[in-house]
Every structure is written in structure tokens, then in C-alpha cells.
Amino acid sequence: MGCYRIAEIGGDGIGPEVVAEAVRVLEAVQSSELRFSFERAEVGAALYERTGEDLPRETVDLCRSVDAILFGAAGLPDVRHADGTELVPQVTLRMLLDLYAGMRPIKLYPGVPTPLKITDGRAIDYVIFRENTEGLYVGVEHYIGVGSDRKAAAESVMIVTRFGAERIVRYAFDYARRHARRKVTLVHKANILKLTQGLILEAGREIAKQFPEIAFEDRIIDATAMALVLDPSRFDVIVTENMFGDILSDEMAGLVGGLGFAPAANVGSDVAIFEAVHGSAPDIAGQGVANPTALMLAACLMLDHQGEREAARRVRAAVEGVWREGHARTRDAGGQASTAELTDAVIAKLRA
């Protein structure tokens, strides 16, 4: 138990709205032994329009000094850098803070609509770990000119280091051991990308030997994508490279209710960001209809990370209870409840 300094970064669109609701829930779970102090900071497109910066130095410095970061969403479709590139301060922040482990829990809560035809009662409850700092997302790319056509071709470089591969695989296995998970699945494309993906596969096979109590398997990415739709209950912990993890986690978010139910953690050695997977959704910003569930569940990941397991359990139970009863469904899940009304229902559960 303790007092934690939390950077509160709303960002753009619905980001400030859902972060504010997560803060309300964290304030409701406080006790004499568990306290939070929140410090606001700015990033994103709206800030860029005002100041010419989307990630100011003072925000980075604050993020380095706090115990954890709650992040909403960043970016607006019509706001770009002067060179036409997209504003992605959240990615830049991950790189600056070396938040190498991207964690996305995938769980289907009772009462949440899903397009899956689940008839045998098997649960969907697993975790995807994504390497956050390497692969194609390092952005090393350039045009290749031919004659007068300077854009005749384009080339991107996939960078995979043994250090990066080993630390994300080890993180996944350590997580599985701490949380009594039974199996780790490493997802790759080493049958085609024999060197870069092969390095990840090699790291997985070697590190798996150090965790004999945990089953290990490796799967090709395309076969995994199909299996996640046909029988997601067969998975427990998945670890993969940057782009594959991004795609698979969004695929599965759609099968457990959508991005409004998809929390994420980006973890480094010194600090971590806890966020929703969804974007800024400017089309519904300010209407009070956004689903704050993902940010509430991200706050639970933050509590877990800080060792506050009982507080995390209480918040998850409250969120699950509200969705099971179905009295406070937001619009994205077929209901009429407002953002604040859903939070009110969760807080009422916490205080019951």
C-alpha cells in the first residue's frame, strides 16, 4: 500500500473524457492506505495546433518522474506535421521511455456482445505481449528512385535484436509464472523471414527451457489469426513482434466487444503507460457517449503493476458486475447510458 503519483494525460478527442472517468474510479477505490495524486500533462494534435509541439519536453520529464501514466488518446485526422506525417506522440513516448513490453489482455466479460458463436462455455481470457520498440515500427524507411521517378519504390527495414527478442520473451514467461498461466505461444513468420523472425523464434525456444513448468509452442502468424477466431480459448499467453502484436490485439478486441473493452499497458524498466487501445474518436468527442471501460481496465493493470492486487480485483469485479447486469450499457454496446452513468454504476458497485 502507498501513495502514488500518476501523470494524467488526456490527449485528444474522447481521451480526456475517458481518462477523467478512470480517475473517478481510482479516487473511489482509495483508502487510508492507498492514495493517488494526479498531475495533468498535455500531448497530441490539439496541443500541436496551439503550440507547434505534440510532445513537449515537460511532459516527457513528468512521465519519467511519476509512478505511472494514465493515457487517453492522441491524434486527430485533419492535424498533421508540416511534412504531412501523422502525429503519434504516444509512439514517440514509448521509444523515449523504452517501454519495450506492450501488454494487451483479451477477456470477454459476461453481458458484453460478441460476434463469436460461443456455445460450449469456454472462456476467452488471455494476454498478448508485443515487442514495442523494434520491428518495422522503428520507421527506418526510404524511397528508391529510378530515373526521374524518385518514388519508384519504397523500402522499410525490419530491425530485430537478440537483446530485444530475449527481453520481451522473458517478460512474457515471467508474467505467465507470476500469474499461474499454463502456456506461452510465440507467434512469428520465421518460415519466410528466416533471419529477423528466426531470431525471435530462437530466443523463444531457448528461454522456454528456463520455465519447464510452462508449456511452450510456436505458431505462424496467419494460422494464429485464424485460430484466434475459431477457438480463442486455446490460448493463454501470446508473445510476438511489434506489428503482429498490434494487428492480433485489435482483431481480438473486436471479438470481445470492441476497442472500448481493450486496455493496454506499455512497460519499461522504470515507468509504464496504461491506456485504452482505441483512438481519439473525434466524431463522438464531447457528446458524453464514449465507453470508458477500457481505461478503467487499464487502471486495473496499473494497480496490478504497483502491487495493489486487491484494489485491482475490486475494480474489475465492479466493472464486470455492471456489464453482467446490463443496466448501464454505452452506445457502442447497444445501450443508451452516458459515459458518466456507466462510471456512476461502477462506483456504486465499489461502494456497495
By annotation, the residues acting in catalysis are: 137, 189, 222, 246, 250
Taking alpha carbons only, the member of 126, 130, 124, 59 closest to residue 96 is: 59
- Give the E-state strand segments of 42-171 in sequence order: 68-73, 101-107, 125-131, 141-146, 149-156
Q: Are 333 and 289 in contact (CB under 8 A)?
A: no
- Between helix 293-305 and helix 15-28 the angle, nearest 10°, is 50
Residue 128 backbone dihedrals phi, psi, to 5 degrees: -105, 130
CA Rg value for the chain:
20
Bridge partners for 337 per DSSP: 330
In the DSSP assignment, the letter for residue 103 is: E
CA dihedral 272, 275, 278, 282 (to 10 degrees): -120
Q: Which residue has the cell 475490486?
A: 314
Cα distances (angstroms) measured from residue 144 to each of 147, 154, 216: 10, 6, 41
3-state secondary structure of 101: strand
Grid cell, residue 202, equals 530462437
Q: Are 37 and 5 in contact (CB under 8 A)?
A: yes
